[in-house]
Amino acid sequence: MNHSIGIDAGGTLIKIAYVERGRMHFRKQSVSEMDDAFEWLKIISSNKTIVLTGGRAGKIKKDFFPEAEIVDEFTAACEGANYLMMKEGLNIGEKSLLINIGTGTSWFKIEGEHYERVFGSGVGGGTFMGFGKLLADCSDFPSLVSLSASGERGSVDLLVKDIYHPEEPPIPGDLTASNFAKSEAVISSSSADKMASILNMVAETITLLTVQTAANHETKKVIFIGSTLAGNKPLQESLDFYCKMSGLDPFFLQNGEFSGAIGAMLNK
């Protein structure tokens, strides 16, 4: 493990995992800054093997590291997640669903060292960022997360309690009846309110797909990884709430965004 560097080159971010002085280190940079990242890598990668994964792996091999090896991104993500699960004391022999929320979202069935991609969706971090540009004219991920945390989605979403008012609803009133359905209010609502609604819509959609996929594969244990969750407490809290409300047992892996890079590194 000490003699390899794992690079997960995704649609938005470059994630890097490497071991130095017996400790695993992580680094990430946006795709737009990858030239700087790889100049730094060339300095530290002397006598080390570069192992690539992700959608941009082929381009990086061609342009920067012609001797590098390439590992399938789904294999890398699952093996890296298994490694992190063991580090956190989770039972990797128990059947579980691994959900990787990157630019899009992928679902994997994991049982021990056996894993299989079982579902995918275009709803993910790219959705959040795209709507951020459209609705808040912002392309900075931390700023959009901060906006979503300060907003009030009830300003633009039609909630269950809005429909039943003044009666008591038969289900929790803060649940969404329809996303962005307060069409008149949407125009005058703040960017924060709109981003709160978008983040919640992403969380609801991913949860609904997770509930269905977990039922199909007869498990309630769901493990979340992916760059969209990094520093995104509002999304983690929403997923945790909706999953538990749906009878699932959610867990968020620390450093889960680097699962692909770790899995690539471990493949050498």
Go through the domains of the chain in sequence order and give each one's CATH number. Answer: 4-88+258-266 (3.30.420.40), 93-151+190-252 (3.30.420.40), 153-188 (no CATH)
Q: What is the pLDDT confidence band of residue 2, given thresholds at 50, 70 and 90? A: low
Alpha carbons 211 and 222: distance in angstroms, whole number: 9
Q: What is the mean pLDDT of residues 42-68?
A: 89
Does the pLDDT of residue 71 top 60, yes or no? Answer: yes
pLDDT tens, 132-189?
999 999 999 999 999 999 999 999 999 999 999 999 999 999 999 999 999 888 888 9
Q: What is the pLDDT of residue 20?
A: 85
**Helices and strands in the chain: count of H runs, count of E runs:** 10, 12
Q: What is the pLDDT confidence band of residue 91, given thresholds at 50, 70 and 90? A: confident
Asked if 110 and 78 touch (Cβ cutoff 8 Å), the reply is yes
Strand (E) or helix (H) holding 9: strand 4-9
Nearest residue to 87 via CA among 234, 250, 223, 248: 223
Q: Which residue has the tokens 């680097």?
A: 258
pLDDT tens, 16-40?
999 988 899 999 988 888 788 888 8
Alpha carbons 185 and 115: distance in angstroms, whole number: 45
Alpha carbons 78 and 60: distance in angstroms, whole number: 22
Q: Is the Cα dihedral 67, 73, 74, 77 positive or negative?
A: positive
Q: What is the pLDDT confidence band of residue 206, given thresholds at 50, 70 and 90? A: very high
**Which of 33, 67, 73, 167 does the annotation list as catalytic?**
73
Active site residue 73: yes
pLDDT tens, 228-255?
999 999 999 999 999 999 999 999 999 9
